[in-house]
């Protein structure tokens, strides 16, 4: 068969097992998020809406809050968190697998050496009446093989491992995104609980003075025992909330320490003192669903995983074709070690090697089926990841929008409650109303201030969820 015939045969065989070029699974996406595209009358009527833009986020989100403590916590978590270390180890392993696959593109060269002593028995040689003496055999040399990779098996395997490496890189970024968001969420919950504790203690001081006032009025004959006991009851209920809030503070602080790779006893001083909740930005850049699939790390990781599986299908198909290799062997062999490199003891073998899995074709086809199944799995996983990312982002935007509205409403409620409490005290001092109205106004004020602290915390954590959902600018370095 001529060289031209071999070339034609190779092209025909390659065409028989060729696989289509990789294309990511298409997912139909809206041009913008629903809460950004339109505002329903119901939403508009229930409070002021947050402002979103379709601009792409351009900085790690924790810088937007202007809180140096938060920035320090996130930076330390990204260095010391155990989940980050696990993801880094997986990336290191993936990079090593990529480099290992690349060696298949190069010749394989091995060195060997042996020293044997053999003696043939009388039974091995017919007619031999006595046993032959011992014979030594020394051999040393080099062997080399190089697969020509005519059908791209090795190249596709290397490309697949490169895609898996890229997937591991994005998986690390996803861990960093989730970790930064979890640190920020926990930090804001801590600050919110500290504010609730401050509100409870401040109200307890006011209520304690009220109890003293009612006792003085009772002693002066101008009050009643009922007023005293009601005032004392309100005070005790406020004091009863303090242990629960203190428990929440300790628990949240301990969680932050775990995120930082520390023990709870190693909490920094900044977390042991009270701090303010962040001022929320006037507008939030959220981009578009199309940008989401280009920036969000878990989506990018799923896409690269799918690419790796698709390339692995091509490599598995290539195993159905013959493998063409060049082989060479160079060395020396002799019965005497001191004459090993002497004249006439050298050996040299050079030539092509062709292998074809004719009798093993069933096993190879099963490997192709496995690769195709993984490709189908990767395609479904990618689609699911995109849909989940869009759903998570849409829900996070609505949550923050409504939390923003609730915060504005409760701010007005607290202002009104403070005025009402002051007026109730003035009317009581003037003898125009009974003491129950004072106590009722104080309870309403306490409840409103607690709800405001909770609403501020909820809005801040909802904003963190928005930043986490849209991805921001990653990777983090």
Condensed to tens digits (0 to 9), the pLDDT of residues 287-335 reads 888 888 888 999 999 999 999 999 999 999 998 888 888 888 888 888 7
Instruction: Please check the confidence at residue 46 and state whether its pLDDT lies above 70.
Output: no
Residue length of the chain: 477
Residue 345 lies in a domain: no
Q: What is the pLDDT of residue 394?
A: 92
Ordered alpha helix ranges (H), 28-148: 34-37, 41-45, 68-80, 82-102
Within-domain flag for 462: yes
Does the pLDDT at position 42 exceed 60?
no
**Could you read off the pLDDT of 243-300 as tens digits, one per residue?**
999 999 999 999 999 999 988 888 888 888 888 888 888 788 888 888 888 889 999 9
Strands (E), 78-229: 108-118, 135-147
Specify which of 27-31, 112-116, 165-169, 326-330 reaches the highest per-range mean pLDDT. 165-169
What number is the average pLDDT over the span 2-15? 44
Q: What is the Cα–Cα distance from 277 to 307, expressed in whole angstroms?
A: 43
Q: What is the pLDDT of residue 476?
A: 44
Decide if 421 is inside a domain: yes
Q: Which of 51-60, 124-133, 153-162, 270-279 has the lowest mean pLDDT?
A: 124-133
- Is residue 354 in some structural domain? no
Encode pLDDT of 87-111 as tens digits: 999 999 999 999 999 988 888 888 8
pLDDT, residue 337, reads 76
Position 176 in a domain: yes
The reply to whether 159 falls in a domain is yes
CATH number, residue 311: 1.20.1600.10
Q: Domain span at residue 272?
A: 18-106+152-320+363-470
**Residue 430 pLDDT:** 82
Cα–Cα nearest to 435, from 203, 233, 242: 233
The pLDDT of residue 409:
92
Confidence (pLDDT) at 297: 92
> Is it the case that residue 19 has pLDDT exceeding 60?
no
In a domain, 476, yes or no: no
pLDDT confidence of residue 366 = 92
Nearest alpha carbon to residue 179 among 75, 251, 270, 250 = 75
Per-residue pLDDT reduced to its tens digit, 185-243? 999 999 999 999 998 998 898 888 888 888 987 888 877 888 889 889 989 998 999 99
Query: What is the rounded distance in angstroms from the CA atom of residue 474 to the CA atom of residue 300?
Result: 11
Supply angle C-alpha 325, 329, 334, rounded to 5: 160
What is the pLDDT, as a whole number, of residue 121? Answer: 61
Strands 323-334 and 51-53: unpaired
12 belongs to a structural domain: no
Name the helix (H) or strand (E) containing 354. Answer: strand 346-355
Does residue 473 surpass a pLDDT of 90? no
* pLDDT at site 360: 83
Average pLDDT of the segment spanning 465-472: 85
CA distance 326 to 14: 20
The pLDDT tens digits of the residues spanning 400-448 come to 999 988 999 999 999 999 999 899 888 888 878 877 788 888 888 888 9
How many distinct structural domains can be found in the chain? 1
Cα-Cα-Cα-Cα dihedral sign, residues 95, 96, 98, 102:
positive
Could you give the CA distance from residue 174 to residue 188 in angstroms, rounded to a whole number?
21
For the chain, what is the mean pLDDT? 84
Q: Is the pLDDT reported for residue 3 higher than 60? A: no
Specify the 3-state DSSP secondary structure of 135. Answer: strand
């Amino acid at each position: 068969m001529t060289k031209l015939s071999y070339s034609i045969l190779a092209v025909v065989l390659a065409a028989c097992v060729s696989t289509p070029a990789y294309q990511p699974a298409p997912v139909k996406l809206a041009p913008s998020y629903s809460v950004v595209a339109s505002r329903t009358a119901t939403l508009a009527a229930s409070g002021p809406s947050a402002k979103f833009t379709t601009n792409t986020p351009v900085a790690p989100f924790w810088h937007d809050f202007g809180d140096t403590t938060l920035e320090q916590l996130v930076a330390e978590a990204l260095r010391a968190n155990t989940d980050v270390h696990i993801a880094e180890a997986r990336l290191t392993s993936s990079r090593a697998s990529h480099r290992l696959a690349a060696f298949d593109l190069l010749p394989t060269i091995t060195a060997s050496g042996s020293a044997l002593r053999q003696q043939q028995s009388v039974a091995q040689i017919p007619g031999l009446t006595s046993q032959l003496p011992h014979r030594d055999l020394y051999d040393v040399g080099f062997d080399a093989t190089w697969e020509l990779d005519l059908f791209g098996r090795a190249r596709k395997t290397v490309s697949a491992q490169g895609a898996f490496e890229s997937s591991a890189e994005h998986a690390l970024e996803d861990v960093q995104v989730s970790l930064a968001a979890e640190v920020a969420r926990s930090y804001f919950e801590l600050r919110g609980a500290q504010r609730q504790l401050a509100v409870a203690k401040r109200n307890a001081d006011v209520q304690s003075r009220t109890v003293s006032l009612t006792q003085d009025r009772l002693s002066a004959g101008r009050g009643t025992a009922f007023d005293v006991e009601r005032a004392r009851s309100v005070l005790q209920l406020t004091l009863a909330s303090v242990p629960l809030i203190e428990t929440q503070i300790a628990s949240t602080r301990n969680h932050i320490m775990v995120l930082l790779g520390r023990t709870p006893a190693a909490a920094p001083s900044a977390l042991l003192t009270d701090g303010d909740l962040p001022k929320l930005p006037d507008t939030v850049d959220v981009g578009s669903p199309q940008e989401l699939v280009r920036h969000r790390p878990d989506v990018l990781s799923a896409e690269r995983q799918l690419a790796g599986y698709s390339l692995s299908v091509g490599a598995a198909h290539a195993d159905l074709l013959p493998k063409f290799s060049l082989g060479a062997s160079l060395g020396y062999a002799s019965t005497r070690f001191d004459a090993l490199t002497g004249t006439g003891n050298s050996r040299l073998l050079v030539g092509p090697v062709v292998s074809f899995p004719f009798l093993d074709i069933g096993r190879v086809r099963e490997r192709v089926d496995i690769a195709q199944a993984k490709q189908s799995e990767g395609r479904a996983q990618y689609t699911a990841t995109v849909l989940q990312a869009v759903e998570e982002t849409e829900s996070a935007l609505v949550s923050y929008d409504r939390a923003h509205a609730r915060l504005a409403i409760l701010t007005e409620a607290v202002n009104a409650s403070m005025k009402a409490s002051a007026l109730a005290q003035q009317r009581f001092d003037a003898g125009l109303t009974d003491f129950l109205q004072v106590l009722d106004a104080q309870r309403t004020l306490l409840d409103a201030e607690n709800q405001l602290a909770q609403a501020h915390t909820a809005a801040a954590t909802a904003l963190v969820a928005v930043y986490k959902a849209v991805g921001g600018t990653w990777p983090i370095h």
